[in-house]
Copies of this chain bind each other. A is one copy, B any other.
């Protein structure tokens, strides 16, 4: 509500009350519809490649939750391949990118991480 923003006061983690739960209920809640399955599968598939997973982990674990390509591109494949995988992660909504001067920085979209985590919850403890 009014947020009471007397001062900036950055919250620990943006509440994102619903900001990014556009996808689906927990997998255990009810059988997924075709649409839900396609949406969710796109995200899982993005993390279903070892190189992408390493890139994602490198960004996610980097200081400040962001990293420039030059910091993470040592994953054993050529530079264009790195670029290609980063693009895939971006298309899946898992990463965002921003150019600052010569370098391009990638950042994790935390709300999407949370949404995927919610998919995998055992039981929402609700009826």
Residues of chain A touching chain B, judged by Cβ–Cβ distance below 8 Å, are 13, 27-34, 37-38, 40-42, 44-54, 56-58, 60-62, 65, 72, 76, 108, 110, 113-114, 116-117, 120-122
Contacts and interface: CB of A to CB of B under 8 A. Distances in A.
A41 B28 contact: no
Contact of A61 (B31, B40, B110): B31
Nearest to A29: B61
A72 B31 CA distance: 9
A58 B31 contact: yes
Contacts of A40: 47, 53
B44 A53 contact: yes
Contact of A117 (B29, B30, B37, B120): B120
Contact of A120 (B48, B58, B61, B120): B120
A76 to B, nearest CB: 7
A33 B31 CA distance: 34
A53 B41 contact: yes
Contact of A54 (B31, B48, B60, B65): B31
B51 A48 contact: no
Nearest to A52: B41
Given A27-B113, A31-B54, A48-B48, 5 more contacts: A28-B60, A32-B54, A41-B50, A42-B48, A117-B120
